[in-house]
Amino acid sequence: MTDSKGRLMQGEQTDEFLSGIDTFFFDCDGVIWLGNEAIAGAVETVNKLRAKGKRIFFVSNNSSKSVASYMKKFQRFGIEAYPDEIYGTAKVTAWYIKNKLNFTGKVYLLGSESMAEEFDALDISHTGTGPDPFHGNLDTCIGSVSLDDDIGAVVQGLDIHVNYMKMIKATSYLAKESCLLIVTNEDDRLPVRGSNIVIPGTGSIGAILRVASRRQDRILIGKPNRNIYDCILSKHSINPESSCMIGDRIDTDIAFGIKCGFKTILVYSGVSTADEVEALRKKSPEMLPDYCLPTLADLMRIP
Amino acid sequence: MTDSKGRLMQGEQTDEFLSGIDTFFFDCDGVIWLGNEAIAGAVETVNKLRAKGKRIFFVSNNSSKSVASYMKKFQRFGIEAYPDEIYGTAKVTAWYIKNKLNFTGKVYLLGSESMAEEFDALDISHTGTGPDPFHGNLDTCIGSVSLDDDIGAVVQGLDIHVNYMKMIKATSYLAKESCLLIVTNEDDRLPVRGSNIVIPGTGSIGAILRVASRRQDRILIGKPNRNIYDCILSKHSINPESSCMIGDRIDTDIAFGIKCGFKTILVYSGVSTADEVEALRKKSPEMLPDYCLPTLADLMRIP
CATH number of the CATH domain containing B162:
3.40.50.1000
* Cβ neighbours of residue B170 closer than 8 Å, sequence gap 6 or more: B108, B110, B154, B156, B209, B213
Residue A66 domain-assigned (yes or no): no
Residue B170 and residue B250 in one domain? no
Opening angle at CA A286, ends A280 and A289, nearest 5: 70
What tens digit of pLDDT does each residue of B16-46 get?
Answer: 999 999 999 999 999 999 988 899 999 999 9
DSSP B24: E
Residue A200 and residue A134 in one domain? yes
- Position B3 scores a pLDDT of 72
Domain range for residue B19? 2-61+224-301
CA distance A120 to chain B (A): 22
Residue B113 and residue B192 in one domain? yes
d(CA A231, CA A99): 9
Residue A112 domain-assigned (yes or no): yes
Residue A202 and residue A167 in one domain? yes
Last residue of a domain, one of B219, B243, B266: B219
Q: How far apart are the first and last CA of chain A?
A: 25
Q: Are strands B180-183 and B219-220 parallel, antiparallel or unpaired?
A: parallel
- Position A190 scores a pLDDT of 86
Residue B136 and residue B49 in one domain? no
Q: Which among A35, A138, A204 has the least Cβ separation from residue B208? A: A204
Last residue of a domain, one of A168, A186, A220: A220
- Position B2 scores a pLDDT of 53
Q: Which residue has the higher pLDDT, A140 or B193?
A: A140
Q: How many residues does chain B have?
A: 303
CA distance A193 to chain B (A): 11
Q: In sequence order, which ranges of B1-110 are alpha helices (DSSP H)?
A: 11-19, 42-51, 67-77, 89-95
d(CA A278, CA A301): 25
Residue B68 domain-assigned (yes or no): no
Paired residues of B109 in beta bridges: B155
Contact between A81 and A60 (Cβ < 8 Å): no
Residue B240 and residue B211 in one domain? no
Residue type, A29: D
ipTM of the complex: 0.90
CA distance B166 to chain A (A): 10
Among A66-80, A180-194, B209-223, B239-253, where is mean pLDDT lowest? A180-194
- Check if B251 is active-site: no
As for how many domains chain B has, the answer is 2
Residue A121 and residue A195 in one domain? yes
Residue A98 and residue A203 in one domain? yes
Which contacts qualify for B45-54: CB closer than 8 Å, 24 or more apart? B45/B296, B45/B297, B45/B299, B45/B300, B46/B79, B46/B296, B47/B78, B47/B79, B47/B80, B48/B300, B49/B24, B49/B299, B49/B300, B50/B80, B52/B18, B53/B22, B54/B21, B54/B22, B54/B23, B54/B24
Residue B180 and residue B110 in one domain? yes
Q: What is the dihedral of CA A220, A222, A224, A226, to 10 degrees?
A: 90
Residue B181 and residue B213 in one domain? yes
Contact of A189 with chain B, judged by CB distance below 8 Å, is answered with: yes
- Position B302 scores a pLDDT of 46
State the burial class of residue B25 (Cβ atoms within 10 Å of its Cβ: 0-12, 13-18, 19+): buried
Residue A70 domain-assigned (yes or no): no
Task: Count A/B contacts: CB-CB distance under 8 Å.
Answer: 130
Residue A95 and residue A214 in one domain? yes
Mean pLDDT of the region B218-233: 97
Mean pLDDT of the region B76-91: 95
Binary contact (B198, A171; C-beta < 8 A): yes
- Position B173 scores a pLDDT of 97
Q: Of B22, B27, B149, B248, which one is the catalytic site residue?
A: B27
Q: Which of B203, B112, B198, B208 is nearest to B164 (CA)?
A: B208
Residue A205 and residue A243 in one domain? no
Contact of A72 with chain B, judged by CB distance below 8 Å, is answered with: no
3-class SS at B265?
strand
Mutation site for A-interface testing, chosen from B138, B145, B154, B159 by largest number of A Cβ within 10 Å: B138
Residue B169 domain-assigned (yes or no): yes
Mean pLDDT of the region B199-214: 95
Judge whether residue B164 has pLDDT over 90: yes
Last residue of a domain, one of B173, B198, B219: B219
Phi/psi-derived region of residue A291, left when phi > 0, alpha when psi is between -120 and 50, beta in every other case: beta
Residue A107 domain-assigned (yes or no): yes
Binary contact (B205, A201; C-beta < 8 A): no
- Angle between the N-to-C axes of helices B67-77 and B113-121, in degrees from 0 to 180, rounded to the nearest 10: 120
Q: Are strands A86-88 and A106-110 parallel, antiparallel or unpaired?
A: unpaired
Residue B254 domain-assigned (yes or no): yes
Q: Which of A59, A33, A60 is nearest to A45 (CA)?
A: A33
Residue-level pLDDT, tens digit, chain A, 303 residues: 457 899 999 888 888 999 999 999 999 999 999 988 899 999 999 999 999 999 999 999 999 999 999 999 999 999 999 999 999 999 999 999 999 999 999 999 999 999 999 999 999 999 999 999 888 888 777 778 889 999 999 999 999 999 999 999 999 999 999 999 999 999 999 877 677 899 999 999 999 999 999 999 999 999 999 999 999 999 999 999 999 999 999 999 999 999 999 999 999 999 899 999 999 999 999 999 999 999 999 998 744
Residue B34 domain-assigned (yes or no): yes
Contact of B171 with chain A, judged by CB distance below 8 Å, is answered with: yes
